[in-house]
Chains A and B, each alone.
Chain A
């Protein structure tokens, strides 16, 4: 018997998706749309700030004056790392708890409250920054002090998001209670649950640190201890990026399924990897305090190494199982030629597939390897507060998360907004343009940082110690930024243009981006227990491990060169 929360019940506020055949909760659909559109607006704002910053740090251009550099840096950080990501993640949560579970959203009123608080808070923050009353950068380290509206806005965004997360868990509860689905939740919902759990920890830290800072800025309470502020703030700042990681990996699996029919080679292993994220990834926040004097070596090493490596293990599991599942799916479809025939035959012209594939590569090969290396306490000594750190997280958050979110959008707009994309040839080009651009940004920053160029510095000439090589690398970063910004702008134009002028899909399936088609020799389900069938992925894994080993060794060598012991 169907319950009142099931989307299949007669009279339920739902529709049947013409492409997937799944029931879509109309209440959830509205809030997916609202949050996704807001996300893209904040992405565009943050992107405009990004190009201004890159053209300033590119010393040959040095565009912005000093006060505007720090103002725009604050604006960029909050719009890109908090607003774009959180709005999109709330959209992902509302999708994951309703459509795959065949369940209606717990409460539309709660969703309205969440959305309104987030939107008002984000606008408050952006306005007060642009008024020049919060030039404190995203971290807003005390004793730097911004206008109270800045902190109040962040509190509103955090609490609004927490309310959205509550709506997610409440929907999970009613779906389980009313048996709207059978067995375990789908993997995409499990990954979204992991993201929601991490979001709870993140937002708790946000409340703990921002409320006393707000009351201090109002003159009501004494100044919080700056060391305490840093520690708790990073429980918000870094953990919010771990929410991204979970959401991103869930999207990887979803897009792999949509474009190649890939199913996880081992559901239990994939879910265990997500559980490792839930349990251990939040400890990575300690990376930011590796040179802080207030916390001891035991706390630093435990949180950034021993315990954190369990979360690194989770990323490596996903990094293996995702391409392995695609390889199995492609080989079962008949693409069996050689070690990498399944790679060359993959649907690269599908922007969702290419976006996710590039996201996996950039996140793993650049972001993952640099992250683990820079998070080692000894090596961190030669990298802390240099552009190497910025190079690392532009590979994870931008090349990894933002690109994966963009990739999913190529399905979200046709399936949820029910409009086919305009300018489809340009859409196929967009993930490549953005990915190559951000690759140059990340590598330019990383190599400049390895020469000691500091992050968050308006001018490096005043130091008088950087030669042409450092300037060349900042130029590479700048050229990459122009390419990535063009890709971002194209993405925004494609999205807005499609929402306004795209052909409506009402009553028919979305226009096909191109998915992997079975050949004549296809044998569905034949390779699921054949471990040798994923030999191409095993080969890629060894390439990855070799890159990891070389980079790790090079960094220890660099450390020994800086502080030789003779």
Chain B
């Protein structure tokens, strides 16, 4: 039987590079890239003379 005390949740997250990788890619892609891309797409084309 494993008698080692269970590590706190935050400790387990920090020990898991894959969770950090997913969050680290997802947050900037949503907050910066996707949101910014949508803003640019919503700009109406300029009317050229």
A binds B: yes
Question: Complex: how many Å from CA A285 to CA B27?
Answer: 13
- Set of chain B residues within 8 Å of A286, measured between Cβ atoms: 32, 36
Across the interface, do A172 and B33 meet the contact criterion of CB distance under 8 Å? no
**Residue interface mask A199-214, B partner, CB < 8 A = 1:** 0110011000000000
Q: Say yes or no for A463: interface residue by CB 8 A criterion.
A: no
- Set of chain A residues within 8 Å of B32, measured between Cβ atoms: 235, 282-283, 285-286, 303
- Set of chain A residues within 8 Å of B43, measured between Cβ atoms: 227, 293-294
The 8 Å CB contact of B24, one of A190, A201, A228, A232, is A201
Q: Could you tell me which B residues sit within 8 Å of A by CB distance?
A: 10-11, 13-15, 17, 20-21, 23-25, 27-29, 31-33, 35-37, 39-40, 43
Total residues of chain A contacting the partner, CB 8 A: 40
Question: Complex: how many Å from CA A172 to CA B16?
Answer: 11
A-B contact pairs, 16 of them (CB 8 A): A184-B14, A194-B20, A200-B25, A205-B33, A225-B40, A227-B40, A231-B40, A239-B28, A272-B14, A279-B27, A282-B24, A282-B32, A289-B36, A295-B39, A299-B36, A303-B31
Across the interface, do B20 and A295 meet the contact criterion of CB distance under 8 Å? no
Given A231-B40, A271-B14, A279-B27, output 17 extra A-B contacts at Cβ < 8 Å: A172-B17, A198-B24, A200-B21, A200-B25, A204-B29, A205-B33, A227-B40, A231-B37, A275-B13, A278-B23, A280-B27, A282-B27, A286-B36, A295-B36, A295-B40, A296-B39, A303-B31
- Set of chain B residues within 8 Å of A553, measured between Cβ atoms: none
- Set of chain A residues within 8 Å of B13, measured between Cβ atoms: 275
Q: A169-B17, A193-B17, A303-B31 are in contact. Are A278 and B24 (CB under 8 A)?
A: yes
Q: Say yes or no for A197: interface residue by CB 8 A criterion.
A: yes
Q: Say yes or no for A302: interface residue by CB 8 A criterion.
A: yes
**Residue interface mask A213-231, B partner, CB < 8 A = 1:** 0000000000001011001
Across the interface, do A204 and B25 meet the contact criterion of CB distance under 8 Å? yes
Q: Say yes or no for A361: interface residue by CB 8 A criterion.
A: no
Question: Complex: how many Å from CA A201 to CA B22?
Answer: 10
- Set of chain B residues within 8 Å of A193, measured between Cβ atoms: 17, 20
- Set of chain B residues within 8 Å of A293, measured between Cβ atoms: 43
Q: Could you tell me which A residues sit within 8 Å of B by CB distance?
A: 169, 172, 184-185, 190, 193-194, 197-198, 200-201, 204-205, 225, 227-228, 231-232, 235, 239, 268, 271-272, 275, 278-280, 282-283, 285-286, 289, 293-296, 299, 302-303, 307
Across the interface, do A294 and B40 meet the contact criterion of CB distance under 8 Å? yes
Question: Complex: how many Å from CA A283 to CA B25?
Answer: 11
The 8 Å CB contact of B25, one of A190, A201, A285, A289, is A201
Q: A200-B25, A268-B10 are in contact. Are A232 and B33 (CB under 8 A)?
A: yes
Across the interface, do B40 and A201 meet the contact criterion of CB distance under 8 Å? no
Question: Complex: how many Å from CA A286 to CA B10?
Answer: 29
Question: Complex: how many Å from CA A32 to CA B31?
Answer: 35
Question: Complex: how many Å from CA A282 to CA B25?
Answer: 9
Across the interface, do B25 and A197 meet the contact criterion of CB distance under 8 Å? yes
Minimum CB–CB distance for A289 against chain B, Å = 8
- Set of chain B residues within 8 Å of A225, measured between Cβ atoms: 40
Minimum CB–CB distance for A380 against chain B, Å = 17
- Set of chain B residues within 8 Å of A201, measured between Cβ atoms: 24-25, 28-29
- Set of chain B residues within 8 Å of A169, measured between Cβ atoms: 17, 21
Q: A268-B11, A283-B28, A283-B31 are in contact. Are A197 and B36 (CB under 8 A)?
A: no
Minimum CB–CB distance for A182 against chain B, Å = 12
Question: Complex: how many Å from CA A197 to CA B19?
Answer: 11
Question: Complex: how many Å from CA A200 to CA B23?
Answer: 12
- Set of chain B residues within 8 Å of A228, measured between Cβ atoms: 37, 40
Minimum CB–CB distance for A476 against chain B, Å = 36
- Set of chain A residues within 8 Å of B33, measured between Cβ atoms: 205, 231-232, 235
Question: Complex: how many Å from CA A296 to CA B24?
Answer: 24
Across the interface, do A275 and B20 meet the contact criterion of CB distance under 8 Å? yes
| Chain A residue at smallest Cβ distance from B35 | A299
Question: Complex: how many Å from CA A279 to CA B39?
Answer: 22
Question: Complex: how many Å from CA A172 to CA B27?
Answer: 23
- Set of chain B residues within 8 Å of A194, measured between Cβ atoms: 20, 24
Q: Which of A184, A275, A280 is the most central at the interface, judged by chain B CB atoms within 10 Å of its CB?
A: A275
Q: Which of B17, B35, B36, B39 is the most central at the interface, judged by chain A CB atoms within 10 Å of its CB?
A: B36
Question: Complex: how many Å from CA A268 to CA B37?
Answer: 36
Q: A268-B10, A271-B14, A283-B28 are in contact. Are A197 and B20 (CB under 8 A)?
A: yes
